[in-house]
Copies of this chain bind each other. A is one copy, B any other.
Amino acid sequence: MKIKVIAPIISDIFNKEMLEEFSAYASSETKVAVANLSYGPASVESEYDEALCIPNFLEKAKEAEAEGYDGVISNCFGDPGVKPAREILDIPVIGPCEASLLITSSLAKSFSVVTVLPNVVTMIENISKTTGVSEKLASVRYVNIPVLEVHEKDRLKAALYEEMVKAIEQDHAHALVLGCTGFMGVAAELQAKLKDNGYDVPVIDPAFAATKMVETLVSMGVKQSRLTYMTPPSKQRVMN
């Protein structure tokens, strides 16, 4: 199985870590490739950034299918372009937010997301509504660290831990979802630290969740429903 992970940003600074992480998430039978955009925003932290990243993401996703990939991940927690890509591709397209929310739903009666900035809170809540699991979403918290600074891992982990404890104590979260695909390589450590402090709860890495969901769908031989994601009618479409 071949999976293409597309970071919907023009920056390639995450690519190396992404390739390492996704290769580790995937089963030994899966071959992973990563890509980023030719045009669009440097990072995705608003509806505005999402709007600007989607056109090129759709081109890259279409290319991935033509290259023979079996599944595509839009590697941003806002799941940008997932819905339109499902309309134009015949292979599974997965977003890390939706995948995380669904997998976490099998582990706990409620969960919180901890993300980067307040700007994306409503966006994540809206995904929970259209995914259908908004009842279980206890809260969306944020560390107030921009995407392009999340590589400062110690600062990030300290801030995430603080918000996770608040999510459990104040919002009654019973599980935690990392709300940014830039939060790589910290889930296991945070889960262990929480357990050491008396909170035996799962911490979900969204990129990991997206990888397993794509592998699941490909191996099951299923893809998005054509009744929900219908093929767009033919027409003139002028690219800039």
Quick one: CB contact mask for A38-53 with B, threshold 8 Å, 1 for yes?
1111110111111110
**Given A46-B84, A188-B221, A216-B212, does the pair A109, B228 have CB atoms closer than 8 Å?**
yes
A38 CA / B120 CA spacing, docked (Å)? 29
| Minimum CB–CB distance for A130 against chain B, Å | 5
A220 CA / B177 CA spacing, docked (Å)? 13
A146 CA / B201 CA spacing, docked (Å)? 23
A239 at the interface (CB under 8 A from B): yes
A122 CA / B41 CA spacing, docked (Å)? 28
A103 CA / B218 CA spacing, docked (Å)? 12
**Smallest CB-CB separation from A233: which chain B residue?**
B45
A114 at the interface (CB under 8 A from B): no
A205 at the interface (CB under 8 A from B): yes
* Contact yes or no, A148 B235, CB < 8 A: yes
A191 at the interface (CB under 8 A from B): yes
4 tightest Cβ-Cβ pairs between the two chains A and B? A46-B232, A200-B226, A108-B225, A202-B222
- Could you write out 20 A-B pairs with CB less than 8 Å apart? A38-B240, A39-B239, A42-B235, A45-B233, A46-B233, A48-B88, A49-B232, A52-B237, A94-B106, A98-B106, A102-B102, A102-B103, A106-B217, A110-B228, A130-B130, A132-B135, A175-B227, A202-B223, A205-B220, A212-B219
Known A107-B217, A202-B225, A209-B220; further 15 A-B contacts with Cβ < 8 A? A46-B87, A47-B83, A47-B229, A48-B58, A48-B88, A94-B106, A98-B106, A106-B213, A108-B227, A109-B228, A130-B130, A174-B228, A203-B222, A212-B212, A212-B219
